[in-house]
Structures are given as C-alpha cells and as structure tokens.
Chains A and B, each alone.
Chain A
C-alpha cells in the first residue's frame, strides 16, 4: 500500500518536473514511474506546438477586445467582420430582388421570381379559399398595372385572367361567407378585366389570352362560365392545374 502511494507520489513529482521543462525520467526512480514519466514526456512532444503566428493573432485579438489600439485588428474580429459583410451581401442579393419582384409585371425579368414567390406562398397555404385570395391579390395588382400601362398589357391581361380563373377554380366547391366574398371579388375583377379589354377595342382580350392562345380550354374563356365551369376543377386541378402553366 505504501509502495503504491510512493509510486503515485513519485510519478506526480516527475510530472511536475516535466511541467517546468525538466526531464521527468531523470528525477523518477527506475521502474514504473520512470517509464510512465517518459511516456508522459512523449505525449507532450506528440502534441504539436501552437504556431507562433497564431499566437500573435490571438494576442492582437485579445488586446483589441480589451480596447487596446491594435493596428489591423485581430484575426477573429477580421473573420467576424468578413462574415458580417458576406451576410449583408447575401441579404442584399436575396432581399432586393425579392422586394423588387413583389412589384414585377409579366414580361419583366423579375416576373418569374415573383411567380416563384407566389408558388411558394401557395404551397404553404392549405386553405383553398386563402389560396384563391392570394391569387386574386395578384390579379388585382395586374389589373391595376394594366390600367396604368399599355406596355405589358397583353401578357399582363393574360396573367390576370389566369389568376382569376385559377382562384375561381379553387373557390368552386366552397361555401361560406369568406368563399362568397372571394367569389364576388373574382367576379368584380373579371368585370374590370372585361371592361379594360373592351375599352382597348375588344381585340386584346382574345389576343393576349394564354387561355385562347394555348390549348387549355376553359382557362381563357373568362366570364361567369369560368366560375361555373371550373368548379369541379377546383378540387382536382387546384395548385397543379391552372397554376402550373400559368405560374411556370
């Protein structure tokens, strides 16, 4: 027992010696303590010494953190500054186009981005009435823009019509005050669309219509027949029907 304790103490002294840079085996008596102390010294040598440049960077960072004026700043600070700049750039790269896309019109470069955003929102919305509401918001925006500008009118009217038709399809089988309100809103928008087309000479409604231009019968027909006829489609086509080609 005493021998065991002596061995522990002897090893402990040898490790203390190692800590201050001495040779542990030289102090330790022959035998187990010497072998273990030598092994400890080997372990110490096996762990790579920290690189001096890292120490200099770390020192500078520490002093900078303490408020000392350190030219160039510390490594970690520079790294965090770089991360902040990258994050800001990423935010700008995503947020600015997204914000601009929110007002994008058909035929403009950001229109596909806006459609993708709408698809994402629709994908996150399970309620068909709410989905119809989102589509009608887009339709209303398109209609307003069509009233104000003729440049994008053909594509804009077609996209507006598609959104209304798709909304009507989604509202088709649903009752209740909210669905009724959205349906009334869709009909108002359709009326506005008709009015706009007529004021432009009547040709435009059929001209831009992707519904007519495409082979998608029913989508381009508009009017009240759209709401009635697409009622059954609401369930089956939902997001994948009118939205697919319209938003793609």
Chain B
C-alpha cells in the first residue's frame, strides 16, 4: 500500500467524515495492523487485542464527526486505542493476566531447529517486554509496535516529545537488561 502524505490522509479522513464508506475502509486497511500490534503488545493476548482493535475503530466511527481537521489523525486514532487498552486493564484488574501467551505458545511450538530458536528468541523478547513498567511498555508499544513518531506518541500519552525520547531510550535499555544482554 502506497505511503500517504499528510494531505492525502487529511483528504481521506474528510471523505470518511462525509460518510464515504470506501474512505472509511481504506483508513481501516491502512491503520488496522498497527493498532492491532499496539494492542497485542499492550495486552499480550491476540483475542483481547482484536476486541480492542474493533473497539478502537468503532470509536473512530463514532468520533469522526468530532474529529477536528488539521489535527494529527494517527495521534488521534492511537489516543482512542490507548484509552480502549486502559479500559481493558481496568476491567481485568482483578484477574490474573496470561502475558503474551500467544507469542510464547508460538515460540514453543515444534519446528525446524532454526525456527524454534528464532521463536524462542521472540518469546524471550516478549517476556522481557512484559516485565517492563507499564509506562515503558506503553511508549514502546506506541513507537515500535504502533509505528507512531515521537511527537505523535507524545500527544497520546500527554508528554513532551523530549520526554518520549528519553522514555523510549530508557525502556529499551531496561529491556536489554531484562534480557541479560551485556551492556557495551
């Protein structure tokens, strides 16, 4: 799918706001995977992530009329996703989480040796990610999984761009430490 310029994106959003279903579908196609990855990273569960993704786009549908043209659509979209994730965390606050089970199950499934090693490595990364503080998980989920810029992530979490840069650096250092990678 070709990259969209800001102007193209703005036009697409305008069309979707005006009730153009094709435009809405295209917005979904363009951003769905990023939102789903972000949600999977935050929730550690593909099924719940799927729910959050659906809820996020339902939120987009409901909120499009209130969306102010000129504001960063991606930041707006991920702010909705961010809130839906927070809702899920609140709802399951009393339940014990099964963290990133999907990734772990995939990692330990049988297969050729290289594939198994790669899967184990992915599971190790996923496990270390889950051990980070929630705010660190959030900033990495937005930047690395959601693919937002530092400025967009800053808008979502309500911090300055500089603070996000520091936070993502610190989070990756901690991730490396969690994985026992030697600091060089």
Among A15, A54, A75, chain B packs the most CB atoms within 10 A around the CB of A15
Whether the Cβ atoms of A62 and B129 lie closer than 8 Å is: no
Given A12-B168, A39-B125, A50-B143 contact (CB < 8 Å): no
A43 to B169, CA, bound (A): 14
Whether the Cβ atoms of A65 and B58 lie closer than 8 Å is: yes
Whether the Cβ atoms of B102 and A36 lie closer than 8 Å is: no
Q: Which residues of B contact A8 (CB under 8 A)?
A: 165-166, 169
Interface residues in A7-59 by Cβ distance below 8 A to B read: 7-9, 11-12, 15-16, 18-20, 31-32, 35-36, 39-40, 42-51, 54-55, 58-59
Q: Shortest Cβ distance from B143 into chain A, in angstroms?
A: 5
A16 to B103, CA, bound (A): 24
> Interface of chain A, helix or strand or loop or mixed?
helix
Interface residue? A61 (CB, 8 A): yes
Given A15-B143, A47-B103, A50-B46, A39-B172 contact (CB < 8 Å): yes
A84 to B25, CA, bound (A): 27
Closest chain A residue to B127, Cβ basis: A46
Q: Which residues of A contact B37 (CB under 8 A)?
A: 44, 47, 49-50
Contact mask for chain B residues 16-59; partner A; CB cutoff 8 A; 1 contact, 0 none: 00010100110011001100110011000010011001100110
Whether the Cβ atoms of A68 and B32 lie closer than 8 Å is: no
How many of B's residues come within 8 Å of A, CB to CB? Answer: 49
> Interface of chain B, helix or strand or loop or mixed?
helix
Q: Shortest Cβ distance from B144 into chain A, in angstroms?
A: 5
A65 to B57, CA, bound (A): 10
Given A8-B169, A11-B168, A46-B126, A68-B21 contact (CB < 8 Å): yes
Q: Which residues of B contact A216 (CB under 8 A)?
A: none
Q: Which residues of A contact B88 (CB under 8 A)?
A: none
Interface residue? B181 (CB, 8 A): yes
Q: Which residues of A contact B173 (CB under 8 A)?
A: 36
Interface residue? A66 (CB, 8 A): yes
Whether the Cβ atoms of B24 and A62 lie closer than 8 Å is: yes
Q: Shortest Cβ distance from A87 into chain B, in angstroms?
A: 19
Q: Which residues of B contact A181 (CB under 8 A)?
A: none
A8 to B149, CA, bound (A): 14
Contact mask for chain B residues 62-104; partner A; CB cutoff 8 A; 1 contact, 0 none: 0000000000000000000000000000000000000000110
Whether the Cβ atoms of B24 and A63 lie closer than 8 Å is: yes
Interface residue? B106 (CB, 8 A): yes
Contact of A50 among B40, B121, B148 (CB under 8 A): B40
Contact mask for chain B residues 127-138; partner A; CB cutoff 8 A; 1 contact, 0 none: 001000000000
How many of A's residues come within 8 Å of B, CB to CB? Answer: 39
Interface residue? A76 (CB, 8 A): yes
Contact of A62 among B58, B106, B165 (CB under 8 A): B58
Whether the Cβ atoms of A43 and B140 lie closer than 8 Å is: yes
Q: Shortest Cβ distance from A23 into chain B, in angstroms?
A: 14
Closest chain A residue to B47, Cβ basis: A54
Closest chain B residue to A32, Cβ basis: B184
Q: Shortest Cβ distance from A134 into chain B, in angstroms?
A: 39
Whether the Cβ atoms of A50 and B50 lie closer than 8 Å is: yes
Closest chain A residue to B24, Cβ basis: A66
Contact mask for chain A residues 62-97; partner B; CB cutoff 8 A; 1 contact, 0 none: 110111100000011000000000000000000000
9 contacts between A and B (CB under 8 A): A11-B169, A12-B150, A19-B147, A35-B176, A46-B103, A50-B36, A54-B50, A61-B54, A62-B25
Give 10 closest A-B pairs by Cβ, nearest first. A50-B36, A19-B147, A46-B122, A68-B21, A36-B172, A46-B125, A46-B126, A8-B165, A40-B144, A42-B125
Residues of A within 8 A of B (CB): 7-9, 11-12, 15-16, 18-20, 31-32, 35-36, 39-40, 42-51, 54-55, 58-59, 61-63, 65-68, 75-76
